[in-house]
Amino acid sequence: MLTRNKITAVQHDSNVCADIQGFDFNDYTADDIATVHDFWLQHGVIRFQ
């Protein structure tokens, strides 16, 4: 599990993707987008929960 800012990436049990938790689609910053982008580069596939 990786956490940065208030956003967490948890590797899915299938190792196919990471679940992104804590991202607020109604209230986000440029730093939040950068965090999600970094997680995407690390895991390849992400999904939001």
The residue with tokens 């910053």 is: 29
pLDDT for 32: 94
Question: pTM (2 decimals)?
Answer: 0.83
pLDDT for 3: 83
Write the pLDDT tens digit of every residue in 2-46: 787 799 999 888 778 899 999 999 999 999 999 999 999 999 999
pLDDT for 12: 82
Q: DSSP E strands: which ranges in 1-49?
A: 2-4, 7-11, 18-21, 46-48
Question: In sequence order, what are the beta bridge partners of 10?
Answer: 19
